[in-house]
Structure 1
Amino acid sequence: MHCRFFLITLLLLSGITAAYGQADTTKPGEYAYNLVNCIQYGLTHQNDVVNARLDVKFSQEQIKEATGKFLPHVNVNGSLVDNLKLQTSLIPDLTNPSSGVKIPVQFGTKWNSSVTGQVDQAIFNSDYFLGLKASKVYGGLSEKAYKRTEIDTKVAITKAYYAVLASEENIRLAKANMTQLSKTLSDTKARYDVGVAERVDVDRIQVSYNNIVTDIETQIRVLVYTMQLLKFQMGMPQETKLTLTETVQDLNLDAFIADTVDYQVQDRIEYSIQTTQIALNELSLKSKKLGYLPTLNAYVNYGFNYFASTFGDLYKTGYGASALGLSLSWPIFTGTERLHQIRENQITLEKSKNDLDYLTQQIKVEVAKSSTDYLNNKSKFVTQKTNMGLTQGIYDRIVLKFGQGVASSLDVTSAENDLQQAQVNYVQALLNTLISKTDLDKAMGKIK
């Protein structure tokens, strides 16, 4: 029956994806953590959180990049030309213009060079202004994505943590059964040795004892796996020794309240992310509409030109040149391309608003389902906890009667199997309650 719990636990764990106190440590590589400490460690070391934090820094650099477009841009250009053969032009014979004769002449020098520095400054460019605003909105989006990653990490760590506690509780109960059954087996063997009990009584209890030993070994392997999963969700190296300072007895499930009256869909980080996406789509649409406006830039340059017949004389004399001016670019008509781009962005914006409405309904349904699951699981937990206590009492009384000779070994093994099943049901109901409460808190946006 414990094997059944083993399979259920594995299936459950396979679905787990991913005020703080100072963590206690005994020595490097060994940690004694409670749930708060595990979450704190995960928010610092978990891979997805680390990458999301880097994404925030990346978006900050993009904002600075957009700001940099408004600063002056300085360029220096240079050239060196060796006219291997000067170009020939034909000009009229100025001494006899009426003759119609053309004289071939060559203009220029064999060597020429130039160096020019120019400063450009954007005065008006709608794309620059909107790009800066969009980059800031995008920066906010990356911060919200980072927050969502933090929430997902907290949920994954919490579920894995509860799975470890449930596995430890299952082992504790199984060991208590083993101790109790071991005493019954020892007493039965002693009675068999003096001829009071039969061999079949010893064998039946021995079979139950062997099964429970095997179940404990199985659950220990489950515990090892759940601890490995917890460390994985935390971003902790597998070779690190982690000990949990809490047990299920430290959890007060009676204090878990499923209040779905005051929650708001706006509390969900996904809602905030979608509203930010709408803002980005609005800026994109505005950018396309303002594309009809001109762009205006100012520039000033200064440079030198050099000419010589030989390379050695090239840079002996330079002729300065400078200019100050404005450049205007106004796309009056670009076909119908921009018109269709505007319509495409309008459709994208409308879709994002529809997605927000859909997300609102989706959150409400998710809260309703999570609340139903939690209330059902908590009700089952209360029942299974009561049933386990009743089954334990039945088992104790049958063992007492067996010792007095008024109950059979078959009654003992049957009661022991019922007790094991009741304990399995209790631990499974406990874990389901803890996990469904975590899902409910996430659905209502209470995990920040």
Structure 2
Amino acid sequence: MHRRIFLFPFLLLLSGTVVYGQADTLTPGNYAFNLANCIQYGLQHQNDVVNARLDVRYSQEQIKEATARLFPHGEINANFVDNLKLATQLIPDFTGPDPNVKIPVQFGTRFASSATGQINQTIFNSDYFIGLKASRVYKDLAQRNYKRTEIDTRVAITKAYYSVLANQENIRLSRSNMEQLAKTLKDTKARYDVGVAERIDVDRIQVSYNNVVTDIENNIRLLVYSTQLLKFQMGMPQEARLELTETVQDFSVNSNYIEDTVNYRVEDRIEYGIQNTQIALNELNLRSKKMQYLPSLSGYINYGWNYFAGSFGDLYKHGYGASALGLSLSWPIFTGTERIHQIRELQITLDQSRNNLAYLSQQIKVEVANANTQYLNNKALYNTQKENMELTQGIYERIVLKFEQGVATSLDVTSAESELKNAQVQYVTALLNTLISKTDLDKAMGKIR
């Protein structure tokens, strides 16, 4: 029973750690890939990687946008007014004998229109220059996030790939057991037919054989699902046919290999570089807020026409030109104490980001220590389980031989087969755990790039 369920935790772990979609992979096909091919395919088609590449392009456009703000900006403004009823005002009657007498008069024309074109040029604005630097830092952040997405994709594909290989190995071992049990069952039935063996011997071995067949069927279904999960992590259509060209033996753990967990550098972790970039952004935010004390200077030039007429038909027959050239200066001398507190808030944010960098360094060291411990424990358990499986295989073969010679019972055969099956499950589990923990260790030390 253990054999049917031992891979579920790993499949759930893989499906819950990184959930990726598909991008630009609508055409199914047939693929024969090794691990390197799967990773390469994923880096081209996996949804998060594709979006991360688009983020890099987006950041490049932001740099161009920030640069374009320093270019001249032109605009045209126009209006049309129909004074349905001109406003009436009272003015002294200078034509009469009494200047205190007021008479109602109306000024202006019913129709008026104007059109003005203006060019504005920023001469100095601290926000523009700081924004240009910030956009370049943001591009660096986007590139680092793209790299982190690539690393996460490599890890997810690698773990899913190992899961498929472990399922294949489990099926291979189960089929080997089935072939041995099938031979033993056939021989036992033949002995029963001639009266040498008992019916209980046939039934016991038949039960073991049926269990192995069911295990193989269950593991085949697990293999189909784990392959689907691998394609999902790669961004490959589920309709595509994927065949792996490697077996789990190609990734056997070297018992003499010891990972160097002393001379690694925390700076090699992509998260360390991302945090450094975040510090640079916080520094620019603080600098931008401080430079808001500086004045802003801009210039403009415009030219336009004004039109007036008592009737709409005469409105645009004659225009009056107008033009202006000028400078505009804005200098926020005092804005209360609001900006002082904003600067202090940004300084606190900057200090926090620096503290986070120091904390991240310690966190990486702990992650490496934990990953190394898990890897060494899994590798030691793998070596033990591999030896146990080999010993149990030998025991099983000798029990079968004794059973055929009539000096062992069918209960001994089924018990030995159960022990062998359990040893094989533990071996494959230990192998998968070792491969996955080695991947986690390489990621913790920044070796996966």
- Residue number in structure 2 paired with 1:327: 328
User: Does the Cα contact within 8 Å between 1:76 and 1:115 map onto a contact in 2?
Assistant: yes
User: Does the Cα contact within 8 Å between 1:258 and 1:375 map onto a contact in 2?
Assistant: no
**Match runs of 1:365-376 below 5 Å:** 365-376=366-377
- Residue number in structure 2 paired with 1:227: 227
* Residue 85 of structure 1, CA deviation: 2.4
TM-score under structure 1 normalisation? 0.94
**Match runs of 1:64-213 below 5 Å:** 64-94=64-94, 99-213=99-213
Runs of 5+ unmatched residues, structure 1: 19-26
* Residue 87 of structure 1, CA deviation: 2.8
2: CA distance between counterparts of 1:173 and 1:281? Answer: 57
- Residue number in structure 2 paired with 1:23: none
**Corresponding letter in the other structure for 2:32:** A
- Residue number in structure 2 paired with 1:430: 431
User: Does the Cα contact within 8 Å between 1:43 and 1:150 map onto a contact in 2?
Assistant: yes
Q: Report Cα offsets for 1:17-66 as digits up to 9, x if no partner.
A: 22xxxxxxxx9621111111111111111121122222222222222221
Confirm whether residue 14 of structure 1 aligns to residue 12 of structure 2. yes
* Residue 374 of structure 1, CA deviation: 0.4
- Residue number in structure 2 paired with 1:351: 352
TM-score under structure 2 normalisation? 0.94
**Corresponding letter in the other structure for 1:7:** I
User: Does the Cα contact within 8 Å between 2:126 and 2:294 map onto a contact in 1?
Assistant: yes
- Residue number in structure 2 paired with 1:410: 411
2: CA distance between counterparts of 1:221 and 1:309? Answer: 88
Secondary structure at 1:14 match in 2? helix
**Match runs of 1:333-344 below 5 Å:** 333-344=334-345
Q: Which runs of 4+ in 1 moved over 6 A?
A: none
- Residue number in structure 1 paired with 2:57: 57
Q: Report Cα offsets for 1:270-305 as digits up to 9, x if no partner.
A: 111111111111111111111111110010001111
**Corresponding letter in the other structure for 2:46:** Q
Moved more, 62-71 or 374-383: 62-71
Q: Report Cα offsets for 1:362-390 as digits up to 9, x if no partner.
A: 11000000001001111111111111111
Secondary structure at 2:9 match in 1? helix
* Residue 181 of structure 1, CA deviation: 1.0
Secondary structure at 2:54 match in 1? helix
2: CA distance between counterparts of 1:385 and 1:31? Answer: 32
Q: Report Cα offsets for 1:300-348 as digits up to 9, x if no partner.
A: 0011111112111111111111111100011111111111111111111
**Match runs of 1:230-245 below 5 Å:** 230-245=230-245
* Residue 106 of structure 1, CA deviation: 2.8
* Residue 221 of structure 1, CA deviation: 1.2
Runs of 5+ unmatched residues, structure 2: 19-26
Secondary structure at 2:6 match in 1? helix
Moved more, 254-263 or 355-364: 254-263
1: CA distance between counterparts of 2:212 and 2:113? Answer: 94
- Residue number in structure 2 paired with 1:363: 364
Secondary structure at 2:13 match in 1? coil
1: CA distance between counterparts of 2:105 and 2:201? Answer: 128
2: CA distance between counterparts of 1:397 and 1:405? Answer: 12
Secondary structure at 2:7 match in 1? helix
Confirm whether residue 395 of structure 1 aligns to residue 396 of structure 2. yes
**Corresponding letter in the other structure for 1:146:** Y
Compared CA separation, residues 416 and 49, structure 1 to 2 (3 A): same
Secondary structure at 1:253 match in 2? coil
2: CA distance between counterparts of 1:178 and 1:129? Answer: 74
CA RMSD of aligned residues (A): 1.7
Moved more, 113-122 or 136-145: 136-145
**Corresponding letter in the other structure for 2:229:** L
**Corresponding letter in the other structure for 2:386:** K
- Residue number in structure 2 paired with 1:276: 277
1: CA distance between counterparts of 2:422 and 2:100? Answer: 120
* Residue 98 of structure 1, CA deviation: 8.1
* Residue 107 of structure 1, CA deviation: 2.5
1: CA distance between counterparts of 2:12 and 2:437? Answer: 15
User: Does the Cα contact within 8 Å between 1:86 and 1:108 map onto a contact in 2?
Assistant: yes
2: CA distance between counterparts of 1:95 and 1:308? Answer: 27
Compared CA separation, residues 11 and 252, structure 1 to 2 (3 A): closer
Moved more, 97-106 or 379-388: 97-106
- Count of paired positions: 438
User: Does the Cα contact within 8 Å between 1:79 and 1:113 map onto a contact in 2?
Assistant: yes
**Corresponding letter in the other structure for 2:70:** F
User: Does the Cα contact within 8 Å between 1:300 and 1:323 map onto a contact in 2?
Assistant: yes
**Corresponding letter in the other structure for 1:444:** M
Moved more, 200-209 or 167-176: 200-209
Compared CA separation, residues 412 and 334, structure 1 to 2 (3 A): same
**Corresponding letter in the other structure for 1:122:** T
Moved more, 88-97 or 406-415: 88-97
**Corresponding letter in the other structure for 1:288:** K
**Corresponding letter in the other structure for 1:129:** F
User: Does the Cα contact within 8 Å between 1:299 and 1:326 map onto a contact in 2?
Assistant: yes
User: Does the Cα contact within 8 Å between 1:5 and 1:428 map onto a contact in 2?
Assistant: no
Secondary structure at 2:80 match in 1? strand
2: CA distance between counterparts of 1:198 and 1:447? Answer: 60
User: Does the Cα contact within 8 Å between 1:281 and 1:349 map onto a contact in 2?
Assistant: yes
User: Does the Cα contact within 8 Å between 2:72 and 2:119 map onto a contact in 1?
Assistant: yes
2: CA distance between counterparts of 1:157 and 1:38? Answer: 7
**Match runs of 1:261-272 below 5 Å:** 261-272=262-273
Confirm whether residue 444 of structure 1 aligns to residue 445 of structure 2. yes
* Residue 6 of structure 1, CA deviation: 3.1
* Residue 192 of structure 1, CA deviation: 1.5
- Residue number in structure 2 paired with 1:309: 310
